[in-house]
Amino acid sequence: MGRSACCEKVGLKKGPWTREEDEKLLAYIQQHGHGSWRALPPKAGLKRCGKSCRLRWTNYLRPDIKRGKFSLQEEQTIIQLHALLGNRWSTIASYLSNRTDNEIKNYWNTHLKKKIIKMGLDPITHKPRNHAPGCGQTKDIANLSHMAQWESARLEAEARIVRESKLVSNVYRYTIAPPPPPQPSSVVPPPPSRPTCLDVLKVWQGVWGTPRKDATIANFNGLPPCLDVLKVWQGIWGTPRKDVTIANFNGFPTSNTAITSPTSILKFSDSMATTSKNGVTHEPSFASSDIINYVESPGACVVGRNITSDNNQDGYHVKGIMKNSPPQIHDMIADWLRYPSFLEGFSDLPPGSATAPVDNGLSEEDNKISYWSNILTALDSPMDSPVF
């Protein structure tokens, strides 16, 4: 399907923008919004193509763009995310408050890539160069790639939520990524921010210390990682599944005051095996505090809850079994169980925030709650709209 380039029309200007053009574009968008980019130039009195206008706006004129030198924290975030995501600049950009993908891409190409190479690392794999992988290493790389694949699905979902949230309000944006407090030049900068992206992986590995062979993923203080799990499942399946929905997330905290026990229920209408009793089919319902385990034999994901019986014998009550579990889930669980230390050093803090206390009057825990709470708020109608 051939399509003519948008700037091929005679008389449309190309090249650097003049101050006058900038002012025209800015004034028009401030007054009317951009609307259809293609229709914008004549209305704004510009002899440019819509695409050129859009780029000028998104990469330069937008008032919320952060310009200037990248901080050490931003650099390290970019490197970490690039290792995980590769050249997905827009996704990476969503994790750095108010930096454009173009700016990050340029900064990578002109600074960071060289830095990585200087350190003797491959800028693509982020592994030592001149180090031909042996059999085991090949497998390791494959497994890491597996992890990255799974995690990137989650990242993209989250990035989308963050992007969408930016359309909602500035207040919301501030809550998601509060600006770091100013640092006196003599003070050593805080450690780099730790991407939220890896919290689910962390749970996979066991938040409470030693790796857990039972690989619980949902039991994360009863808080939104259930949502993450759902996102990932949806992501792995590829196209959005209208039938996989999150029901009743009413119990999540909406204030910063307390973590209450959520009443969230996950509903997997056709992915979970149903149970029958007296001829009536029951769909299992799941609380966010439920634990999802992978059982090697017969190779399925089961959802249930830990129970303590009267005689203090711990047990696990199976509520449901995922039928037709995507094979990727099995593979990835198996892969991740081999990497107990992969998540060392990451936390579930909001993206863009420093690990040092943020100067917004809230504790780290409160910030976490606020962050997740806002993500849920951003999901306008979680019962009806798929996350992907």
Partner DNA sequence: AATCGATACAACCGCTCCGAA
Partner DNA sequence: ATTCGGAGCGGTTGTATCGAT
Of positions 71, 76, 83, 88, contacts DNA by CB under 7 A: 88
Q: Which of 247, 202, 244 is CA-nearest to residue 220?
A: 202
Q: Which residues contact 184 (CB under 8 A, 6 or more apart)?
A: none
Q: How far is the CB of 203 from DNA (least distance, A)?
A: 27
Pick the closer one to DNA by CB: 161 or 287.
Answer: 161
Q: Determine if 372 is a binding residue for DNA (CB under 7 A).
A: no
Q: Which position among 111, 115, 129, 213 is part of the footprint of DNA (CB under 7 A)?
A: 111
CB atoms within 10 A of CB 297: 5
Total number of residues shown for the chain: 388
Query: According to the binding rule CB under 7 A, does residue 288 interact with DNA?
Result: no
Residue 157 or 246 with smaller CB distance to DNA: 157
Category of 384 on φ-ψ map: left (φ > 0), alpha (ψ -120 to 50) or beta: alpha
Nearer to DNA, 91 or 325 (CB): 91
Q: Which residue has the tokens 């982020």?
A: 126
Q: What is the C-alpha to C-alpha distance for residues 101 and 87, in angstroms, rounded to an integer?
A: 10
Q: Judged by CB under 7 A, which of 23, 42, 87, 315 binds DNA?
A: 87
Cα–Cα distance for residue pair 128/121, rounded to 1 Å: 4
**Three-state SS sequence of 308-340:** ECCCCCEEEEEEEEECCCCHHHHHHHHHHHCCC
Element housing 226 (H / E): helix 225-237
User: Which CB sits closer to DNA, 120 or 181?
Assistant: 120
Q: Cβ of residue 121: shortest distance to DNA, in angstroms?
A: 18
Instruction: Count the Cβ atoms, other than its own, within 10 Å of residue 131.
Output: 12
DSSP reduced 3-state for 168:
helix
Query: What gap in Å lies between CA 349 and CA 351, rounded to an integer?
Result: 6
237 belongs to the binding site for DNA (CB under 7 A)? no
Examine residue 370 and tell whether it contacts DNA (CB under 7 A): no
Among 77, 82, 95, 103, binds DNA (CB under 7 A): 103
The smaller minimum CB distance to DNA, of residues 52 and 193, is found at: 52
Q: What is the size of the binding site for DNA (CB under 7 A)?
A: 38
Q: Which of 75, 82, 89, 349 binds DNA (CB under 7 A)?
A: 89
Asked if 254 touches DNA (CB under 7 A), the answer is no
Q: Rule CB under 7 A: say whether 290 interacts with DNA.
A: no
> Which of 380, 340, 360, 329 lies closest to 177, judged by CA?
360
Rule CB under 7 A: which of 6-65 touch DNA? Answer: 7, 13-17, 35-38, 48, 50-52, 54-56, 58-60
Region class of 361: left (phi > 0), else alpha (psi between -120 and 50), else beta: left
Q: To the nearest whole angstrom, how small is the minimum distance from the Cβ of residue 17 to DNA?
A: 3
In 3D space, the residue among 222, 166, 160, 228 whose CA is nearest the CA of residue 198 turns out to be: 228
Helix (H) or strand (E) holding 118: helix 113-118
Closest CB 132 distance from DNA, rounded Å = 24
Nearer to DNA by C-beta: 64 or 314? 64
Question: Minimal distance in Å, beta carbon 213 to DNA?
Answer: 36
Is 126 an interacting residue with respect to DNA (CB under 7 A)?
Answer: no
Work out the burial of residue 71: count CB atoms within 10 Å of its CB; fewer than 13 is exposed, 13-18 middle, 19 or more buried.
middle
Residue closer to DNA (CB basis): 37 or 237: 37
Distance CA 386, CA 257 (A): 29
Q: Which of residues 310-369 bind DNA (CB under 7 A)?
A: none
Nearer to DNA, 1 or 188 (CB): 1
CB of 182 to DNA, least distance (A): 21
The residue within the footprint of DNA, chosen from 9, 23, 106, 345 (CB under 7 A), is 106
Query: Of residues 26, 98, 105, 256, which one binds DNA by CB under 7 A?
Result: 105
Among the listed ranges 81-89, 181-189, 229-237, 285-293, the one in contact with DNA (CB under 7 A) is 81-89
Residues in touch with DNA (CB under 7 A): 1, 3, 5, 7, 13-17, 35-38, 48, 50-52, 54-56, 58-60, 67, 87-91, 101-103, 105-107, 109-111
